[in-house]
Amino acid sequence: MAKNEEIKPKKEKSYGAESIQVLEGLEPVRKRPGMYIGSTGVEGLHHLIWEIFDNSRDEAMGGYCNHIEVALLPGNRVRVVDNGRGIPIDIHAKTKVSALETVMTTLHAGGKFGGEESGYKVSGGLHGVGASVVNALSQYARVNVHKDGGEYVQEYARGKQKAKVKKIGATKDNGTIVLFDPDPEIFSEIKFSWSTIVTHLRQQAYLVKGLEINVLDLRDYTGKIDLESAFYLKEAGYNVPSMSFFFEGGLFSLIKYYNKFQKPIHKEIFYVEKQEGSVDVEVALQYVDDMASREIAFANNIYNPEGGMHVTGFRTALTRVLNDYVKKNNFGKEAEEGFTGDDVREGLTVVVSIKMAEIQFEGQTKGKLGSVEARSATEKVFGEAFGMFLEEHPEDAKAIVNKVVLAVRARKAAKAAKDSVLRKGALEGMTLPGKLADCQSRSPSDSELFIVEGDSAGGTAKTGRDRKTQAILPLRGKILNIERARLDKMLASEQIRNLVVAMGTAIGDVFDISKLRYHKLIIATDADVDGAHIRTLLLTLFYRHFRPLVDAGHIYIAQPPLYKVKKGKEINYFYSDEQKEAYLVKEGVKAEELEIAEEGDDIEPQDADTEEEKEGKTAKRAAKVHIQRYKGLGEMNSEELWETTMDPAHRVVKQVTVHDAQEADKIFDLLMGSEVGPRKSFIQSNAKLANIDI
């Protein structure tokens, strides 16, 4: 365009006041559900339950409720019941409709804004949007309120009331029943996880002393379910999967649960609960013989996976108190040099819980606490109590300090190892491992690293790969079990060192995810016991030392086929016995028509010597269906490996995610740790569930 050429605006609709959308009622929730529940995936779906449960739980925290029931119903509907005060049903002065309808159909309407004057001294609800958001994202919802001798009901469709609140009878009960049916227009898949729900509600039972929580799974129940008159379904005697939780020990009991499979360093579990200003602080901790730390934080009983101000206050006090204690009690030169935050948290299991009236979270999903006053309150309460604990329990204090000193020594040894192996190597031009067949692309987002088992599979993968985007790193045998290995010992392992260098991120305190050379790290092992073991060892390594790679979705597991089935010229690959059997049934293949190839056998019949024999064998071959069972990747030729396991257009890979970090941590401790007893018990209890092909 010439410099002085006139710019003519494109013809388009005018942009005036009429262009501005005003979303009324609960429309904003349906328009942008992720803003209110985090996502419309599995986590957001479960968040609906947490929102309704939290309302009942807040009643319990206020002392008005001691029993909550959560039931999964057929069709993936959910029913939550409590014996609290019941949502008010009288007319609201401002909205001119029932308070129940106001709470269920209006954003930012609730009883949790005015502190004790509103009826809630402490609550998990911040914005008053919980019940209304669940209502907006449900294709159907119903609330039954039992209050002051009467039962009242109101029904809703996608957030809008279907009729006014009406009284349907008398009742001796007191409380609220919320039934909701998640909307398939919002959620791509509606399937609740029993284990996720049980884990979350068990945790909540620990946090509210004296609260009984029942969970029922009636999704597969085919009989009639009494939703109209049964206040608690469990009392109706349904023979379905159920769990009940009731704990009087609070966080003290929760620490014992988390450390069930651990070896404690000291006998006494530290515990304190005290009010500081407007903040109630509760902390329980115990050190165990482990290298990982477990810090679990709650604010008004809402789990904060990202921590927040209360965790910052705790960490500050923990480091300060232990440093002060060793200086006063002459624990030697290593202790006097000072402990870092990482030193004092090694092997620590701690639960930090605060409760306060005016609480601030970062986001509606409440993942991180933002209330500044929680930091100083936690630091003061915990610091004073833990300092006294160390003075009053000298043997426990000595055990804790010795554990921290061990962490200091390990830190120094690890630093020396990193200086000699990483800083001098990968960070200063160390060549890539000789066994690594790198890809041509230098764009991490386009590049993949296949971590394969053994040189045989490595050779096949190198031949069959797409050289432009796919790199291959074969591992020799089983790598070191790093669950009980410190960083210096890990880096002495050539296999682990090669993997770290190939990834490019370094490790430990110099880890940098931005330097990851491949955005897909694909574990490709054989479909046998040894392959599963190697895969578990690699997952342990990634979970313990490269957790950000797991969280960012960079870790995958390849799914090579178990069977190659050839019928005439048609070849199909199947990834399970069920897939193969379904194919044979569909094709009408009889048992006498099957030809099963043993490991290493050629699935093609040998040529006949004479024309007559050749004709006979041709007829025989035409009638046969040849099945080959793969035991390892090395049995495939390069074309088969590419077609079934490496070709992005046809392969099956599973992305590794961690939905419940605490449960994952416990499982890794159990299966990969040094304590034999708990692992033996787990294997005995679950042996019948194993499907092992040896």
The residues annotated with a catalytic role in the active site are: 453, 526, 528, 530
Helix (H/G/I), strand (E/B), else coil: 314: helix
Is 526 labelled a binding residue? yes
The two structure tokens encoding residue 76? 């993936």
List of long-range contacts for 41-44, beta carbons under 8 Å, 24+ apart? 41/187, 41/188, 42/189, 42/191, 42/193, 42/659, 43/659, 44/187
Is 18 labelled a binding residue? no
Determine phi and psi for 653, rounding to 5 degrees.
-130, 145
Determine phi and psi for 482, rounding to 5 degrees.
-85, 0
Is 607 labelled a binding residue? no
Helices (H), 164-226: 194-207
DSSP string, 254-305: HHHHHTTTS-BSSSSPEEEEEEETTEEEEEEEEEBS-S--EEEEEETTEE-T
Map tokens 């909540």 to a residue.
Answer: 204
The two structure tokens encoding residue 427? 């960070």
Residues in Cβ contact with 205 at an 8 Å cutoff, skipping those fewer than 6 apart: 211, 212, 213, 245, 246, 247
CA dihedral sign of residues 574, 575, 581, 585: negative
What span, in angstroms and rounded, lies between the C-alpha atoms of 634 and 640? 10
Map tokens 């907006």 to a residue.
Answer: 136
- CA distances in angstroms from 72 to 9, 79, 224, listed in the order given: 58, 7, 14
Determine phi and psi for 154, rounding to 5 degrees.
-145, 140
Residues in Cβ contact with 192 at an 8 Å cutoff, skipping those fewer than 6 apart: 45, 46, 49, 72, 76, 78, 219
The two structure tokens encoding residue 35? 């803003």
Map tokens 């009087």 to a residue.
Answer: 248
Judge whether 541 and 521 are in contact, CB under 8 Å: no
Which residues contribute to the annotated binding site?
453, 526, 528
Which residues contribute to the annotated binding site for Mg(2+)?
453, 526, 528
